[in-house]
Amino acid sequence: MRVAATLATALIALSACGGDGALDAPSVGSVIITAPKQTIAVGEPVQLTTTARDVNGLTIAGAKITYASTPTTVLNVNATGRVIGLSAGSATLTATSGGITSSPFPFTVTAGSVAAVVTMPGNTFTPSLLTIKVGQSILFDFPADQHSVVFAARTGKPADIPTTSAQSVTRAFTTAGTFPFDCSLHPGMSGSVVVNP
């Protein structure tokens, strides 16, 4: 009889904790984005700091956060909150956690020494076709996954970029022409740069 009563008490305690012995995660009450600066140049990266807080204003450790940028042609943000300017203009970022979305966080991207930025979501170059002028540069922004940039044999082509991850590499184009490129690690991952005089 005492064993049955003890077992019943244990089952009640477990069910109160969701059946697996773990307490329910706190509900998100707000999501706050901060950044060291909100004006960056094309090709310039900046790291966001994002905090999810509960209804009492306390930080929720380990909260899962997702990001979005509008428009995506001006600003790119990855899963870790690393932002990079893609083209001159204004954009906003939002962060979402537990169904709660932050207030829009504004950014301004100014023209810089880099004419365009190529990102690599999945196994694609984005954009895959770029048009620039002689003397301008393109920044290749490599994610955590490894990729390479190998240019087709052409007079005036820039140096290839060997297998790289988690960093940005810039290449200047000093000769007019069309310069196709591929990732040697992922067949079908290709792009092209058209350089006008």
Which CATH number characterizes residue 81's domain? 2.60.40.1080
The gap from C-alpha 168 to its chain's centroid, in whole angstroms, comes to 13
Range of the domain at 42: 28-110
Are 86 and 158 within one domain?
A: no
Q: How many angstroms separate the CA atoms of 187 and 191, rounded?
A: 12
The CA R_g of the chain, rounded to the nearest whole Å, is: 24
Are 100 and 118 within one domain?
A: no
Q: What is the pTM of this model?
A: 0.78
Percent of the chain at pLDDT > 90 equals 85
Closest listed residue to residue 168, CA positions, set 136, 135, 120: 120
Burial category of 127 from C-beta neighbours within 10 Å (exposed 0-12, middle 13-18, buried 19 and up): middle
How many domains is the chain built from?
Answer: 2
CATH of the domain at 164: 2.60.40.420
Walk along the chain (197 residues) and give the pLDDT tens digit of each residue.
444 444 444 434 444 444 444 456 789 999 999 999 999 999 999 999 999 999 999 999 999 999 999 999 999 999 999 999 999 999 999 999 999 999 999 999 999 889 999 999 999 999 999 999 999 999 999 999 999 999 999 999 999 999 999 999 999 999 999 999 999 999 999 999 999 99
pLDDT computed for residue 15 by the predictor: 41
Cα 172 to Cα 112, 148, 150, 193, distances in angstroms = 13, 16, 14, 11
Domain assignment present for 186: yes
